[in-house]
Amino acid sequence: EDKVVQSPLSLVVHEGDTVTLNCSYEVTNFRSLLWYKQEKKAPTFLFMLTSSGIEKKSGRLSSILDKKELFSILNITATQTGDSAVYLCAVTYGNKLVFGAGTILRVKS
Amino acid sequence: EADIYQTPRYLVIGTGKKITLECSQTMGHDKMYWYQQDPGMELHLIHYSYGVNSTEKGDLSSESTVSRIRTEHFPLTLESARPSHTSQYLCASSFRGNYGYTFGSGTRLTVV
């Protein structure tokens, strides 16, 4: 059965801390891995990763994929209270996505 | 600014009522999806469409039905709502071959 597992389930940090969120997957016909940020509404797209070892960066966020070990990490440096959200990892197979349960991040001021 | 719109944002209805959740996108995307998400849980695909007159059931069994008569419109219907249907319903769309989905703001449904 295809699955995506994220860890930790939840995380509380202080502003300025660096966090690493993990996503491991077991799917057939892997095509890409995506990270989303979900606040109160719908998920917003962060990154799409298709190749191993190539880091994607956007400001304080970065992500990398390891297709051999079947996992990805999302790093957030110098966290801010606005980073508080649920971070979702999703993996595409065929033309569909399978989502993990998410990591709840809370950044305290 | 969202290019995919869902209405209503919140809905509280009684058991047995028929409801339709609306989803429209203005991006000309050919692929559209409905996901169901309970609080703190993962997103589950319940329906998808690859184009007009094309609809398929997703990974999670659902008593809802969908239609795709126009490219931009993908409504979801529950013929007889039950409390077990209480959840958040998210609509999404993408271009063929593009895996970056655009999501709507969601409809939070409560059946009492």
The domain that contains B9 carries what CATH number? 2.60.40.10
B40 to A34: CB separation less than 8 angstroms, yes or no: no
Predicted local distance difference test score (pLDDT) of residue B98: 55
Q: Do the domain assignments include residue B36?
A: yes
Structural domain including B29 reads: 4-75+91-111
Whether residue A1 has pLDDT greater than 70: no
Predicted local distance difference test score (pLDDT) of residue B96: 67
Q: Nearest CA to CA, how far is B79 from chain A (Å)?
A: 25
What is the residue-averaged pLDDT of chain A? 90
Residues of B in contact with A104 (CB under 8 A): 40
Q: Nearest CA to CA, how far is A105 from chain B (Å)?
A: 12
Q: Do the domain assignments include residue B84?
A: no
Q: Which of A45, A99, A104 sits opposite B100 (nearest CB)?
A: A45
Tell me the C-alpha distance between B75 and B23, whole Å: 6
Say whether residue A31 is in contact with chain B using an 8 A CB cutoff.
yes
Of B104 and A7, more confident: A7
Predicted local distance difference test score (pLDDT) of residue A61: 97
Q: Nearest CA to CA, how far is B56 from chain A (Å)?
A: 11
**Domains within chain A, CATH numbers bracketed:** 3-108 (2.60.40.10)
Tell me the C-alpha distance between A85 and A76, whole Å: 12
- Which two tokens mark B100? 């970056």
Q: Nearest CA to CA, how far is A39 from chain B (Å)?
A: 11
Total domains in chain B come to 1
Residue ranges of chain B with per-residue pLDDT less than 50: none
B59 to A98: CB separation less than 8 angstroms, yes or no: yes
**DSSP single-letter state for residue B71:** T
Say whether residue A56 is in contact with chain B using an 8 A CB cutoff.
no
Predicted local distance difference test score (pLDDT) of residue B103: 84
Contact B11, B107 (CB under 8 A): yes
Residues of A in contact with B96 (CB under 8 A): 95
Residue spans of alpha helices (H) in chain B: none
Interface mutation vs chain B, best among A23, A96, A105, A106, most B CBs within 10 Å: A96
Q: Do the domain assignments include residue B35?
A: yes
Q: What is the pLDDT of residues A36-84, one digit of tens each?
A: 998 866 778 898 898 888 899 999 999 999 989 999 999 999 999 999 9
- Which two tokens mark A59? 């400001």
At B83 the three-state DSSP class reads helix
